[in-house]
Structure 1
Amino acid sequence: MPVCVETFVLTCRSGSVPAIVGALEAPLVGRAGFLGCWTTDLGALNEIVVLFSQTPQDIVWPDHAAGVERIDRQRWTLIGGTQPAPGAFGGAYEWRVYDILPGREAEVTALMEGALPARSAVSPAYLVMTSSDGVSRLAHAWPYADLAERAARRKQAVETGAWPPKGILPLLGAMKSAILVPVGYSPSC
């Protein structure tokens, strides 16, 4: 049976992220299924990414008055044996989300699953997943101690041929990339 997770990406007005992160602490900490909360440091700024292993039924999210412009909810199916869990993994997570071209989902999944063992030998993935609803997407997150480690590991993965998965690029559309930094109360940091 596939393992599913859910992300909520809060896009916030400039200057509002610290207050919104603070407002989220009480409703998130101790909640069943809460896996992590990160803010964007590079890439699309002023975003907060929240990850759950089970859908929160009664959470009240900060609203427009608090500075939230939009909340994008996405259900995902984990692939490649990745299983995000609380723990200390690093201070910088590389977060990438790709659109998958129509009808190419099975190929993308197979290529990712085939490449993950070699890539994970260089640095393990925190999660790799495909969208379960809405637009067909592939997402993955890789934790690193810092950006210098990220650069060194990515260089090693590319130079050894472990990454990117061979043949995957023509199957993908637009890509969004960000460096995520865990907030102080995130179970995954």
Structure 2
Amino acid sequence: MTLYDVVTLTVKIGSNAQVFESIKASGDQSGSKLLGCWYSDIGVLGQVLVLRGFESEAALVSERKRMLLEGNPFGCGECVTDVKIDSYSLFPFLPPIEPAVHGGIYEMRVYGTKLASLQHTIDAWEKALPERTQRSPLIGAMYSLEGAVPRFLNIWPYASVDERSRIRAEAVKDGIWPPKGGPAHLTTMESTICVPAPFSPLR
């Protein structure tokens, strides 16, 4: 799978458990695979994020239409006050995202880039990632297919917030991250620290 979406649900206060049960019960849809479910812990609070992979572009579009027309995302619409859906394509040199247990926290980082800078960014990441992922694994990096573009999402798991800070600081100090020339092409930066739901395939 190289096509993904992230469904961000803004949920009513105190409804996380109910929302999780509904998402778990929904499971995989036709042509899609549930890969991760998290709630925001640092950043914009009150959000539940769902990552899904798709077998094809047709499957992604079909599932998007179904969700919009039903108007009841994951069967928990009564708990939801806002929905945002973003579609992504995996950086071409990366392997498909697979379920795994990493523990702790996940960081969702979204960067905007200058026009005509996306390919440069992908190339820079391909060169820099082998050394960077010796410090901590990367779940995936993918560029947005819609909305405010160009921008890309990268997902990193860590054992804790303290471990994240230590690893990132060491990578910068050692000159292996960020990718050489990468920051000059960025326009915006956004980060959310998330905690996996108990049933999340990525957790």
Indicate whether 1:74 and 2:82 are aligned: no
TM-score by length of structure 1 reads 0.88
What is the identity, as a one-letter code, of the residue corresponding to 1:12? V
Overall identity of the aligned pairs, in %: 31
Give the 3-state SS of the residue equivalent to 1:69 in structure 2.
Answer: strand
SS at match of 2:87: strand
Consecutive unaligned residues in structure 1, runs of 5 or more: none
> Using a 3 Å threshold, how does the CA distance of structure 1 residues 179 and 168 change in structure 2: closer, same or farther?
same
Question: In the aligned structure 2, how far is the partner of 1:137 from the partner of 1:70?
Answer: 22
Q: Of residues 123, 148, 153 in structure 2, which corresponds to 1:139?
A: 153
- Structure 2 Cα separation of the partners of residues 29 and 83 of structure 1: 17
Partner of 1:52: 52
Comparing 26-35 with 112-121, greater Cα deviation is found at 26-35
CA distance in 2, matches of 1:180, 1:127: 15
| Match in the other structure for 1:106 | 119
- Report what 1:18 is aligned to: 17
Secondary structure class of the residue paired with 2:40:
strand
**How far did 1:121 drift?**
1.3
Q: Please identify which structure carries the higher helix content.
A: 2
Alignment of 1:184 onto 2:194:
no
Q: 2: distance between equivalents of 1:101 and 1:77?
A: 18
- 1:20 to partner: Cα distance: 2.1
Name stretches of at least 5 consecutive residues in structure 2 with no aligned partner: 55-59
Query: Amino acid of the residue matched to residue 188 of structure 1?
Result: L
Secondary structure, aligned partner of 2:133: helix
Q: Deviations over 1:81-117 (max 9, x none)?
A: 1432111012201110111222221112111222111
Q: In the comparison of the two structures, how many residue pairs are matched?
A: 186
1:122 aligns with 2:121: no
Between the aligned partners of 1:88 and 1:82, the Cα distance in structure 2 is: 17
TM-score (norm 2): 0.82
Q: Do 1:78 and 1:128's aligned partners in 2 also have CA atoms closer than 8 Å?
A: yes
2: CA distance between counterparts of 1:22 and 1:101?
Answer: 40
In structure 2, what is the Cα distance between the partners aligned to 1:15 and 1:173?
A: 35
Q: What is the SS of the residue equivalent to 1:97?
A: strand
RMSD (Å) for aligned C-alpha atoms: 2.1
Separation in structure 2 between the aligned mates of residue 75 and residue 29 of structure 1, nearest angstrom: 17
